[in-house]
Amino acid sequence: MTLWSRLRSWFGAILGRSRMESEMDAELRFHIETYAEDLERSDVPREGALWRAFNAYRQDYALCA
């Protein structure tokens, strides 16, 4: 493998990982905000709804880890 192909592969891996992390962040943000909106429709204030939605995610994540 040439130096150029190694560098190209390395940069591709770094940029690909960054793109994947950005997509996952957007997906997670969507689900938290959607759940918070559901809570707001149940008369939970916006800040409290966001906090509860985020904590629900954290609890689910802790169960999987």
Number of neighbouring beta carbons within 10 Å of residue 28? 13
pLDDT at 65: 62
Per residue in 8-61, pLDDT (tens digit) is 787 777 777 777 788 888 999 999 999 999 999 999 999 899 999 999 888 877
Give the DSSP letter string of the chain: --HHHHHHHHHHHHHHHHHHHHHHHHHHHHHHHHHHHHHHHTT--HHHHHHHHHHHHHHHHHHH-
Domain coordinates of the chain in residue numbers?
Answer: 20-64
pLDDT at 22: 82
